[in-house]
Structure 1
Amino acid sequence: MTAPALTARHYHDHPHKPEPVGKVQLDYESRFLRRKVLELDGGRSLLVDLPKTTSLDHGGVLVLEDGGEIRILAAAEPLLEITGDDLTRIAWHVGNRHTPCQIEADRLLIQPDHVIRDMLGRIGATVHEVVEPFTPEGGAYGHGRTHSHAH
């Protein structure tokens, strides 16, 4: 017999003080949702039913009907690690393509894309495949979400 499903109806993009009653690990694409059943760490299921499609941030919480909180964690996923002598210039080229990008002091992380990988090689970047959590910059138009030139 399985435990009854939990239901979350609210999302907060910042962690709260109470200890969460559960955790869910989601990759970047899975953290963009409105209504979906998720499997929590520990095996319980959770029905997420938000008022609108929402980008869930690493460290945020889903609030359950009873007030408990489920912590959102970024799951490890395949990424491209980008380094180079002129990382600022490289970051400009990545940003110019409206690609979600995690920006760190000595590297950038993006989702795998063979066209962008080829372009990066031509401008002098070093690119390696890695598997890590992905928490890209949010930018002016969304929390970790980017848009086409049609925004």
Structure 2
Amino acid sequence: MIVLLSHLHAPTDTIRLDYDARLVRRKRLMTERGMAVMLDLPELTDLSHHAGLRLDDGTEIALEAAAEPVLVIKGNLPSLAWHIGNRHTPCQIDGDTLVIRDDHVLRAMLEGLGAQVTADTRPFHPEGGAYGHGRTFGHDPHDH
């Protein structure tokens, strides 16, 4: 049985996953060194909040966010963030910039609103939802 870890002692390999791939339940993953790992979790899980995996033999494998194409946005951040949020687009807040996944339609909209937008490739860590950290799957008032 594979165990999700909140911290690592001695990882011997790494699995890098982009934003979409970090949301899993059952999936075959490949480490940087080419080892296949079959992850079979009891429920859909965002791996962004776990440092790694411990395999049956005690081997620890680090989990990291892979670099992916993003847009780095500068300008009137409150207004720009509102427009991004209004489109339910995951967004990372990085000091004086916003970061979203690369999207030509959103880029054109943001530039039309006066934003300075540059393309980059980096790990993407968007903000969590209003009802908890990480991704949200909708709000159930009975969850309280």
TM-score by length of 1: 0.80
Measure, in 2, the Cα distance between the counterparts of 1:78 and 1:148: 27
1:15 aligned residue (2, 7, 24): 7
Which residue does the alignment assign to 1:128? Answer: 118
Measure, in 1, the Cα distance between the counterparts of 2:14 and 2:131: 27
Which residue does the alignment assign to 1:93? Answer: 83
Mapping of residues 1-151 of structure 1, within 5 Å: 8=2, 10-12=3-5, 14-16=6-8, 18-57=9-48, 60-84=51-75, 86-141=76-131, 143-145=133-135
C-alpha distance 118-144 of structure 1, shift in aligned 2 (>3 A) = farther
Q: CA deviation at 1:133?
A: 0.8
Which segments of 5 or more consecutive residues in structure 1 lack a partner in the other structure? 1-6
Q: Secondary structure at the match of 2:11?
A: coil
Measure, in 1, the Cα distance between the counterparts of 2:106 and 2:85: 11
Which segments of 5 or more consecutive residues in structure 2 lack a partner in the other structure? 140-144
TM-score by length of 2: 0.83
CA-atom RMSD in angstroms: 2.5
C-alpha distance 70-143 of structure 1, shift in aligned 2 (>3 A) = farther
- Which aligned segments of 4 or more residues in structure 1 are displaced greater than 3 angstroms? 141-144, 146-149
8 Å Cα contact 2:47-2:63 kept in structure 1: yes
Which residue does the alignment assign to 1:4? Answer: none
C-alpha distance 112-39 of structure 1, shift in aligned 2 (>3 A) = same
Q: CA deviation at 1:139?
A: 2.0
Question: Aligned pair count?
Answer: 141
Q: CA deviation at 1:144?
A: 3.7
Identity among equivalent positions (%) equals: 50
More helix by share: 2
